[in-house]
Amino acid sequence: MPTDRTASVSATPLGRFSLSGQTALVTGAAGGLGRAQCLALGTAGARVIVSDLDPRAAEETCAYLGEHAIDCSPLELDATRPSGVDAAFDALEASGDGPDVLVNNAGVSLRNSALEATPEEFDTTLSVNLRGTYFTAQRAARAMRERGGGRIINLASIGGLVVDGECSSVYDASKAAVVQVTKNMAYEWGRYGIRANAIAPGYRVYSQCTGLQPGGEANFGLL
């Protein structure tokens, strides 16, 4: 049975603010981090648009969120193609819908050394992590400008700020670019009531970080 969302919010730091009446769109929402973001936003009261390249995975995530009494709907969105971004937002706007909050979470982590990285790995990484983030934010910001404002959160990484290990040059370059374009977005769009920020997560226990973290007792040594 769905839990009482109001009770769960009051017992957490999320109880300090409310997104009630707001709509949040999360890209790459079917992955581990994306699903967690959907859960947090929904727990804070937002209606969540669960967008993902894989429409079945988006529906499965919605089913999971429904178990937590979160109002959500799935949306197919291919962040690697501007036409895919436009198609998703066109569909939302045709139904009178649109996000007050955008979380640009979709990303890939293809790791190879700076001596061995391929053009294909470079293009794929930049296509998703930078171009996808840029043009999804752009399309959302155009709609937010018309409505008088909104919030955009871009997912960068500690790798966008420091060298985070071996085989990270291409990934780190893409995330460093996300950090910079977010600053430009904040500067340009603030006048329209749009707040743009980036967050920089570290390593987490999920599929894209497999093989990148120490295991067992070594994890405790980092604490």
Residues with active-site annotation? 171
* CA–CA dist 150, 141 (Å, integer): 8
Reduced DSSP (H G I as helix, E B as strand, rest coil) percent helix, strand, coil of the chain, to 5: 50, 15, 35
CB 102 within 8 A of CB 140: yes
Q: Quick one: DSSP state of residue 213?
A: S
Label residue 42 exposed, middle or buried (CB < 10 Å: 0-12, 13-18, 19+): buried
Tokens of 93: 């706007």
- Beta-strand ranges (E) seen in the chain are 23-26, 47-52, 72-76, 101-104, 150-155, 194-199
Give the CA-trace dihedral at 116, 117, 119, 124, to 10 degrees: 160
